[in-house]
């Protein structure tokens, strides 16, 4: 069936460097994408979203890039901080449906 | 804004008993609430979608008689795990979306860790 997956299960980044977390999706009908951050023992926290009519969207220290040609989504975190350490999930929603399909997750480890 | 509260955060129960988990939207009206299950180091798996005043829609493979969902008001949904068994031990997370907040953004509760002995 359709799925959303990530390339790297664990990413280790030095504090102050930029982080790039990647996500591949297989549902070409996907219209909406979200990145969530989940700290240990907590629920996912919304980071940033993007619709399929855009290829880039920026937030505070974060940027999401969408490449519909290759069905690829990425989250860039600038000047990574220890507080950014968490598991990051991408999720997609086809059309206007609200149901989300989550990717497998990437653990970001920030080293000092 | 967009705060979702989940209670309890952690529950231990004996096998065969039922456990109720509450999910509340504190500062918005939740037109739709979702219930997820998450195993350690794994992703979130959608169990069911719940709309206020109507029956929940369950995902394939989720037993509706075992996981009872009630969405009686625009701010409260409950998940009851009936006759819980050790294999039901997991992290259960709810989320909610509302009309007055950004469309399609699901805001999540902090989760409930269920341990069945």
Give the position of tokens 């970001």: A108
Model pLDDT, residue A53: 93
SS3 at position B27? coil
Report whether B5 contacts B109 (CB < 8 A): yes
Average pLDDT over chain A, rounded to an integer? 89
The candidate with the shortest Cα–Cα distance to A15, out of A76, A64, A83, is A83
Looking at residue A2, what is its pLDDT?
43
Contacts of A100 in chain B (CB under 8 A): 34, 46, 106
Q: How far is A81 from chain B (nearest CA, A)?
A: 22
Average pLDDT, stretch B111-116?
A: 97
For residue range B30-62, what is the model confidence (pLDDT) as tens digits?
A: 889 999 999 888 899 999 999 888 889 999 999
Domains of chain A (ranges; CATH) run 10-111 (2.60.40.10)
pLDDT, mean of residues A5-25: 86
Cα distances from A104 to residues A92, B1, B41, B79, in angstroms, run 12, 28, 9, 24
How does residue A65 score in pLDDT terms, banded at 50, 70 and 90?
Answer: very high
Q: Which of A49, A93, A102 sits opposite B44 (nearest CB)?
A: A102
A83 lies within 8 A of chain B by CB: no
Q: How far is B108 from chain A (nearest CA, A)?
A: 6
pLDDT at A29 over 90: no
Predicted confidence (pLDDT) at residue A96 exceeds the cutoff of 90: no
Distances (CA, A) of B103 to A54, A89, B30, B45, B55: 17, 19, 11, 21, 22
Contact residues of B toward A, CB < 8 A: 4, 6, 32, 34, 42-46, 49, 93, 95, 97, 104-111, 113
């Amino acid at each position: 069936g359709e799925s959303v997956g990530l390339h790297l299960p664990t990413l280790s980044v030095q504090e102050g460097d930029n982080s790039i977390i990647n996500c591949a999706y297989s549902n070409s009908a996907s219209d909406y994408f979200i990145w969530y951050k989940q700290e240990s023992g907590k629920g996912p926290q919304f980071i940033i979203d993007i619709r399929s009519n855009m290829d880039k969207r920026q937030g505070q220290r974060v940027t999401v890039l969408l490449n519909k040609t290759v069905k690829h989504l990425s989250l860039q975190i600038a000047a990574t901080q220890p507080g950014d350490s968490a598991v990051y999930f991408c999720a997609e929603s086809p059309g206007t449906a609200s149901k989300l399909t989550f990717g497998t997750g990437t653990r970001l480890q920030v080293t000092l | 804004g967009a705060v979702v509260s989940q209670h309890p955060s952690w529950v231990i129960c004996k096998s065969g008993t039922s456990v109720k988990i509450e999910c509340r939207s504190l500062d918005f009206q939740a037109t739709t609430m979702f219930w997820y299950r998450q195993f350690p180091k794994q992703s979130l798996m959608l169990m069911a979608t719940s709309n206020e005043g109507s029956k929940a829609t369950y995902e394939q493979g989720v037993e509706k008689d075992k996981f009872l969902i009630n969405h009686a008001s625009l701010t409260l949904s409950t998940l009851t795990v009936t006759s819980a068994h050790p294999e039901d031990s997991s992290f259960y997370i709810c989320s909610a979306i509302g009309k007055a907040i950004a469309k399609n953004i699901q805001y999540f509760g902090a989760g409930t860790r269920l341990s069945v002995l």
